[in-house]
Amino acid sequence: MKSMTLRIICVLGALCQSLSSAFAGERPNVVWFVVDDMSANFSCYGEQTIQTPHVDQLAREGLRFTRAYATSPVCSTFRSALITGMYQTTIGAHHHRSGRGEHRITLPGGVRPVPSLFQDAGYYTCIGSGLQDLDFRSQLFSSKARSRLGKTDYNFDWDKSIYDSHDWSGRRTGQPFFMQVQLHGGKLRGASGSHYDKLDEQIKNVFGTVTDPDTVTLPPYYPRDPVLLKDWSTYLDTVRITDHHVGLVMKRLRDEQLLDNTLIVFFTDHGISHARGKQFLYDEGTHIPLIVRGPGVQTGARRTDLVQHIDIAALSLAAAGIEVPPAMQGQNIFAPDYQPKQSVYAARDRCGEAADRIRSVRTERYLYIRNFYPHRPHLMPSNYKDGKLIIKRLRELHEQESLGSLSARLLFAPTRPAEEFYLYGQDPWQTENLAEDPDHADALARHRQDLGQWIEVTGDPGPETPDVYNLETEDQMKSTRNEASREAYRTNAELYKRWAREGK
């Protein structure tokens, strides 16, 4: 363990010295690729069913992190944390799609969105698709599009003026820019067969053929059912189209002679949207790809130390020569004095009407998860998730008693363990809970204490009050146009309120 840590520190030292000298001169442009709903299913991360040549090229020309994790496995809370470099729990933005109606959320003093810090430093800030002819779906811009600005999804009050434009082309001559390329990623596959068909057409137009469902490899707790296989192959095609879009943006940067002085940061906002992925704290939900390429970044390098997605804010500011705010919890992981993390943390809270509270800590060897509502099932009622074809199919198979024992135990048990404890390396899909194994009791106690300290030190406020839950869910129902969906949401919300009254 000590020798591994020493090797990591030596690698960090070489990288940091190189980066420091590279950014001492002309200020670099900074480009983020932010991709929705996608795990690390790229060739450079070991995916074998498909090829991703453009992201692979990024990895060859830059630095690939193998153990990068989201601090939250759902879009809005991830993005709220990303754009501030703060844990979403610390800034009170930890409930999905919150603070947008009657109930408002304001950032704590000293916390500002990263684009505003770039603007103060003279940068041109933009958020869009990175291309002038294709949108976030890699499709031609529609005349009906109200704006070409990219996805924000922040759970707090913010000023839209922090973005100058949707594209860097509007900047002054020689002005450096901070660009967020927002891509639809895994969301392209949608939730139904008709969505799959539309994506198949797009894939065929670009690549000629779609991915064969029979060739995919599923996590061991998902059955090789035709519906799930087709969904996964369609998901892999969203990875292919994402890779293609990345290639087009990189070509544009190269053609405009911007690439040599541009820091590229490629990552996704959480893992695949699935029964045990998005919204949950297993690796399927929180492990993300993270690749950094640019001036001073060692080519073909790999780092295996633990990092968090909120570190992206700090490293980007530092690369531009902008002081990282003292309150920022993300760290400049390229700083000369940076010490590798011993642990990283994640949190899941209310998603839509589905009220939950889960916290986790990861270390070199273990993943510890605490379920604060263990008497609720894993696949709780959720208007969002239950509308997906794959979840409907899983529920059908469960009702037919056609699922294997592992799937039934992990997905459909009526309750959850209060604590989950998994060993890395030996259990890559987190299927064997060691929380009651006496051989790991001491390690469990250490991780339990570590998580408790993090909750306290970072000011984790925990669940909403009943009044705030009512305000938030009523606001979300008002924005739901589909009557059937709205009523399902309302029914579920009443169930969660009853469970809360019963102490469940």
Q: What is the tens place of the pLDDT at every residue in 181-199? A: 999 999 999 999 999 999 9
Q: What is the mean pLDDT of the chain?
A: 94
Alpha-carbon gap, residue 60 to 73, rounded angstroms: 27
Alpha-carbon gap, residue 489 to 382, rounded angstroms: 7
E strand intervals along 260-310 = 262-268, 287-293, 301-303, 307-308
Q: Give the tens place of pLDDT for each residue, 106-123.
A: 999 999 999 999 999 999
**What percentage of the chain has pLDDT greater than the value 70?**
94
Give the CA count within 13 Å in the CB-facing half-sphere of 238. 30
Which residue has tokens 């459909």?
A: 412
Q: Residue 453 burial by CB count (10 A; 0-12/13-18/19+): exposed, middle or buried?
A: exposed
Domains assigned to the chain: 2-342 (3.40.720.10), 358-502 (no CATH)
Longest dimension (CA), the chain: 65
Residue 76 has pLDDT above 80, yes or no: yes
pLDDT band at 142 (very low <50, low <70, confident <90, very high): confident
Q: Residue 456 burial by CB count (10 A; 0-12/13-18/19+): exposed, middle or buried?
A: exposed
Q: Contact 495/353 with Cβ under 8 angstroms?
A: no
Q: What is the pLDDT, as a whole number, of residue 143?
A: 74
Q: Give the tens place of pLDDT for each residue, 226-272.
A: 999 999 999 999 999 999 999 999 999 999 999 999 999 999 999 99
Mean pLDDT is lowest, of 45-49, 140-144, 287-291, for 140-144
Q: Give the tens place of pLDDT for each residue, 417-468.
A: 999 999 998 999 999 999 999 999 999 999 999 999 999 999 999 999 999 9
Mean pLDDT is lowest, of 83-87, 343-347, 480-484, for 480-484
